Chains A and B, each alone.
Chain A
Amino acid sequence: MSRKTLIPIGPYHPLQEEPELFKLYCDGEIVTDIKWETGYNHRGIEKLSESKSYDQVFFLVERICGICSTSHPFAFANAVEEIAGIEITDRTKYIRSIIGELERIHSHLLWVGLAGHFLGYNTVFMWAWKYREPVLDLFEMITGNRNSYAMFKVGGVRRDIENSNIPAIRKEMSVMRKKLDLLTGAVMDDPVIHARTKGVGILTRQDILDYGAVGPTARASGVDIDVRRDDPYAAYPLVNWKVITARAGDVFAKLEVRLLEMYESVSIIEQCIDALEKMKEGDIALKINEIPAGIGTGRAEAPRGEVFHFVVSDGSNSPARHKIRAPSYTNIATFKKSCIGQTIADATISLAAVDPCYCCTERMAAVYDNSSGKKILNANELIELSMKRTAELRKSGARHE
């Protein structure tokens, strides 16, 4: 009888968005089953929201995720404005979209960098994170914060993007295009990255529909969904852009979708600032007196996929019920499909490919022998295993068939 080993990934890391424990059951080097436990850091945000005023809920939901911190306020604003029947000003629409797209760029760059790190390409990691830094500087200039921007409120935004700020944004966007050309060229043409990511962690179209996966995870498997286009909000119907899709459903396809999406984001931001320049400054918020009783659903396309907020108002100052669904909630469940049958070294990048928040992969704790409970490998050794595989491929000059 072969000896099966259990590899726990997790459960805790203070940097994670979603602390959870993945248990990979392995036969030799092949993953045969995966189980998970969640809720290690359940914060009861839905319940907390019922005790806060509508204005305060924005700050609460902004803290659901540190990386895509504006997508939750975005969806919440859409839901509340639907209940109250508020039509925001055009200037507000453009500002909201600029914030949303800047966030997509920095989140995707973060992902590309970490994907590089786990594949043993630390140069990609260094360059992607270097390119991400000026985007955070733009956030600081526009909102005052590098993260958790506190820009949204019911009926508008809290701060304007002044005309004096626009040249800096425009300059960074034109530089960003060149940076993306360099990064995309380096990543997409590398035979070793092809060998490590093509055919790995495949999700079929049916898997996506079954698990209800969203965002780049779905689009990389040929499921052409994007809330920005399908259920238009903010300035997305006012500018020209396209939804990026791929067919293969493997890690490479997800990489491709994310890299090409950043070009679209740059283009959206450029069109938005052009429109802002032609408008009068300051028209950024409507006066809202009260939120009537009613039911509202709000969606926003976060870097990882569709964020969904369901708000029930009883006419008081706080939501009576507030249901939140983040994209990783459905995307993580696809691990059951993408990891089984893979080797442990490939599981690292397969888990990371849906961008469950990259810290998840850092939770690689240890490998235990199931029968004796003896520790065999530690976290760094597991990442080294993945890196070693890349190094071997690189040495042998392997190409994907």
Chain B
Amino acid sequence: MDTEAAINKLTEKFSGDTVKVVLQKGRRAIVTVRPTAISAISEYLYKTEGYRFIIASALHTRRGFEIYYHFSFDADGSILSLHVILDGEKPHIESLSNMFGASNWIEREMHELFGIDFLNHPNQEKLLSEGNWADDVYPYRKEFK
């Protein structure tokens, strides 16, 4: 199955939750989805389709906080990034760590650096600066003028 067919299957199944699809050159795709659907779509990718969770990347932009969840489909070497845009004031999203352990550390890291709350995370403690960094200061946040 090529990347395009896999994306079509995904957008058909979750037609109400996918906002935008960007197919890049080669084996890369970015699918913007509604934050409320992240658990269901990730579960479909991980359990049904056999994708592997690589990592998530958070960004702070003028649109708010954005997270790219990168999934790898090793059978054809493609990377599917699920993209969500979160509220700029109180960013929060459902944690994926109860589904697979691979997202445990990165969610803690994003919570610590960007102040994004991961709901139902098993242990949302600081990962990098335990005990020596203020609680409500998030080093990777930006100030937009």
A-to-B contact residues, CB < 8 Å: 37-39, 42, 44, 46-47, 82, 85, 209-212, 225, 227, 230-232, 295, 297, 299, 306, 308, 310, 312, 320-321, 323, 325, 329-330, 333, 336
The stretch of B12-20, B49-57, B84-92 that contacts the partner chain: B49-57
CB of A44, distance to nearest CB on chain B (Å)? 8
> Is B127's CB under 8 angstroms from A212's CB?
no
User: In the complex, which residue of chain A has the Cβ closest to the Cβ of B27?
Assistant: A231
Q: Which 7 A-B pairs have the closest CB atoms?
A: A212-B102, A39-B128, A231-B77, A323-B57, A325-B55, A230-B77, A310-B57
> Is B25's CB under 8 angstroms from A85's CB?
yes
Distance, CA A295 to CA B102, complexed state (A): 23
> Is A38's CB under 8 angstroms from B128's CB?
yes
B43-66 interface bits toward A, Cβ cutoff 8 Å, 1 = contact, 0 = none: 000000000111101010000000
| Residues in A whose Cβ lies below 8 Å from that of B140 | 46-47
Known: A231-B72, A299-B79. 10 other contacts (CB 8 A): A82-B26, A209-B52, A210-B100, A210-B101, A212-B53, A225-B74, A231-B77, A297-B70, A310-B68, A323-B55
Among A38, A46, A232, A297, which residue has its beta carbon within 8 angstroms of that of B79? A297
> Is A297's CB under 8 angstroms from B28's CB?
yes
User: In the complex, which residue of chain B has the Cβ closest to the Cβ of A322?
Assistant: B57
> Is A47's CB under 8 angstroms from B139's CB?
yes
Can you name 7 A-B pairs with beta carbons within 8 Å?
A38-B127, A39-B128, A82-B28, A209-B52, A210-B102, A232-B77, A308-B70
Q: Taking the complex as formed, is B124 at the interface, i.e. its CB lies under 8 A from any CB of chain A?
A: no
> Is B54's CB under 8 angstroms from A325's CB?
yes
Known: A212-B52, A227-B77, A297-B28. A330 touches B127 (CB 8 A): no
B69-103 interface bits toward A, Cβ cutoff 8 Å, 1 = contact, 0 = none: 01010111111010000000000000000001110
Distance, CA A37 to CA B123, complexed state (A): 13
B17-34 interface bits toward A, Cβ cutoff 8 Å, 1 = contact, 0 = none: 000000011111010000
| Residues in A whose Cβ lies below 8 Å from that of B106 | 325, 329
| Residues in B whose Cβ lies below 8 Å from that of A308 | 54-55, 70
| Residues in A whose Cβ lies below 8 Å from that of B68 | 310
> Is A330's CB under 8 angstroms from B77's CB?
no
| Residues in A whose Cβ lies below 8 Å from that of B102 | 210-212, 330, 333
Interface centre among B74, B100, B128 (most CB of A within 10 A): B74
B112-145 interface bits toward A, Cβ cutoff 8 Å, 1 = contact, 0 = none: 0000000000000011111000000001100000
Q: Taking the complex as formed, is B104 at the interface, i.e. its CB lies under 8 A from any CB of chain A?
A: yes
Interface centre among B30, B59, B72, B78 (most CB of A within 10 A): B72
| Residues in A whose Cβ lies below 8 Å from that of B75 | 230
Distance, CA A37 to CA B105, complexed state (A): 11
